[in-house]
C-alpha cells in the first residue's frame, strides 16, 4: 500500500502577464510576458506527516496548493493526492481533504459559525450523532463555547480563524492543507491551532501540509520544504537546515572589567558591545582555534555563551544564496 499522501512530480506552472503599450492606442498594443510561478517542483509527503512549505510572498506557495487540490492544472509535470489526479478527481478527493486559506473565510458574516458547521454536516453527509460528538470536541479544544453561536462579524480575528478551521475539518479529512493559517492571529490562537494539529496527527494519523512565510510556525513541522521564485531550494528538517547552512555562531562575553572592542574584531564580527560586554558573530571553525580557546580562558571573563545562528538568519542566507545562482 502506498505510504505517500501527496506526490508532486516535476510540476511547472506559468501565467501570462499582459503589459499595455504606450500612448492612446496602448490598449490595442498590449504585450505579454510569461511568469513562471512553479519551476520543476518535486516532493512527496507521507501519510501522517506534518510538512511546512516555507517561502516569501510570491514564491509560488499558493499556486502549488491550488495545483495540488485541482483548482489549477500544471503546464508540465503531475501531482497525485491519495493516489488520484486532483484535477480530474476533484469531487472524489474533496471528501478526504480539508483546506484552510488564511485570508479567505468560508464562514457567513451575518450568521453564527454554528450555521456553517451545520451546512458542512449536510455537504459531507455526517451522521448527526457523529457530528455532535466531533463538534463538541473541537469547540472545547478551541475554547469556542461562548462564541460559536454568535454572528461571525462580532468575533475577533483569532476566533474567526479557529471557527474557520473547525468548519474545514468537521468531515475528518485525511489531509489538511493550511495556507498561511496564522497571519494576523494572536499568540493564544496560534498555540491552540498547533496543539490541535499535533492532536489530530496522533489520534487519526492526519497529514498536514502548512504553507507559511512565518519562521515561528516551523516548530510544529517535522519537515520543511522551501520555495523561492517557484523553485524548491531546500527539503529537510530545521536541524538539517541549521547544520548545512548555519555556519555562524553567536558568542556573548561578559567581563569583570572594561574592554576594548577593537581587541575582539580578529575573532569575528562585533554585533553588539558595551564597556564590559560584547556579542560576536564568528565562523564555527573559529571555535577550534587555539587563539579563541586562549581568549575564552581570560580571567577577566566572568561568563560567556555560545549559540547557533538563529533559524531566521539561516533562511535569509539561503534565499540570498539562491539569488546568486
pLDDT tens-place values along the chain, 325 residues long = 479 999 999 999 998 877 666 666 666 666 777 888 999 999 999 999 999 998 888 889 989 999 998 899 999 999 999 999 999 998 888 889 998 876 557 889 899 999 999 999 999 999 999 999 999 999 998 889 999 999 999 998 888 888 999 999 999 999 999 888 777 677 777 888 888 899 999 999 999 999 887 777 788 899 999 999 899 999 998 888 777 666 778 889 999 999 998 999 999 889 899 999 999 988 878 888 888 888 888 889 998 887 766 677 777 777 777 766 6
Q: Is residue 39 part of a domain?
A: no
> CA separation (Å) from 151 to 126, 163, 170, 192?
24, 12, 20, 22
Task: Determine the pLDDT at residue 208.
Answer: 96
Residue 203 counted as domain residue: no
Does 22 reside within a domain?
Answer: no
Range of the domain at 286: 247-308
Residue 262 covered by a domain: yes
Q: Is residue 297 part of a domain?
A: yes
Q: Is residue 295 part of a domain?
A: yes
**311 alpha carbon, distance to own chain's centre:** 14
Q: In this structure, is residue 272 part of a structural domain?
A: yes
Which of 63, 160, 157 lies closest to 108, judged by CA?
160
Tell whether 215 is covered by a domain. Answer: no
Map grid coordinates 495545483 to a residue.
Answer: 67
Predicted TM-score of the model (pTM): 0.77
Measure the CA dihedral 309/215/241/81, to 10°: 180
**Whose grid coordinates read 555560545?**
306
CATH of the domain at 256: 3.30.70
312-321 CB contacts, 8 Å cutoff, 24+ apart: 312/215, 313/248, 314/241, 314/242, 314/245, 314/246, 315/54, 315/215, 315/226, 315/241, 317/245, 318/226, 318/233, 318/234, 318/241, 318/245, 319/56, 319/228, 319/233, 321/245
What local confidence, expressed as pLDDT, does residue 145 receive? 93
- Total structural domains in the chain? 1
- Give the single-character DSSP code of 23: S
Q: What is the pLDDT of residue 285?
A: 80
pLDDT for the residue 1 = 47
Amino acid at each position: 500500500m502506498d505510504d505517500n499522501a501527496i506526490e508532486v512530480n516535476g510540476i511547472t506552472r506559468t501565467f501570462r502577464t499582459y503589459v499595455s503599450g504606450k500612448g492612446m492606442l496602448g490598449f490595442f498594443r498590449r504585450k505579454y510576458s510569461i511568469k513562471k510561478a512553479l519551476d520543476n517542483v518535486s516532493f512527496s509527503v507521507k501519510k501522517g506527516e506534518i510538512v511546512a512549505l516555507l517561502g516569501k510572498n510570491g514564491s509560488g506557495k499558493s499556486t502549488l496548493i491550488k495545483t495540488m487540490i485541482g483548482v489549477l492544472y500544471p503546464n508540465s509535470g503531475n501531482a497525485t493526492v491519495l493516489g488520484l489526479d486532483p484535477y480530474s478527481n476533484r469531487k472524489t478527493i474533496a471528501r478526504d481533504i480539508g483546506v484552510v486559506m488564511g485570508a479567505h473565510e468560508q464562514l457567513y458574516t451575518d450568521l453564527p459559525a454554528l450555521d456553517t458547521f451545520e451546512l458542512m454536516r449536510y455537504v459531507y453527509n455526517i451522521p448527526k450523532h457523529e457530528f455532535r460528538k466531533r463538534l463538541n470536541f473541537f469547540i472545547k479544544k478551541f475554547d469556542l463555547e461562548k462564541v460559536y453561536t454568535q454572528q461571525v462579524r462580532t468575533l475577533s480575528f483569532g476566533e474567526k480563524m479557529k471557527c474557520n478551521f473547525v468548519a474545514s475539518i468537521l468531515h475528518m479529512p485525511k489531509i489538511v492543507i493550511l495556507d498561511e493559517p496564522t497571519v494576523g492571529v494572536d499568540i493564544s490562537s496560534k498555540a491552540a491551532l498547533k496543539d490541535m494539529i499535533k492532536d489530530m496527527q496522533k489520534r487519526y494519523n492526519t497529514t498536514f501540509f502548512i504553507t507559511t512565510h512565518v519562521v515561528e510556525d516551523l516548530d510544529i513541522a517535522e519537515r520543511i520544504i522551501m520555495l523561492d521564485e517557484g523553485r524548491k531550494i531546500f527539503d529537510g528538517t530545521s536541524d538539517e537546515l541549521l547544520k548545512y547552512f548555519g555556519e555562524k555562531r553567536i558568542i556573548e562575553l561578559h567581563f569583570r572589567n572594561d574592554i576594548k572592542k577593537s581587541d575582539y574584531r580578529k575573532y569575528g564580527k562585533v554585533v553588539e558591545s558595551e564597556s564590559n560586554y560584547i556579542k560576536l558573530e564568528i565562523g564555527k571553525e573559529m571555535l577550534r582555534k587555539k587563539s579563541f580557546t586562549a581568549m575564552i580562558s581570560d580571567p577577566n571573563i566572568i561568563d560567556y555563551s555560545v549559540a547557533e545562528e538563529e533559524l531566521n538568519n539561516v533562511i535569509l542566507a539561503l534565499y540570498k544564496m539562491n539569488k546568486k545562482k
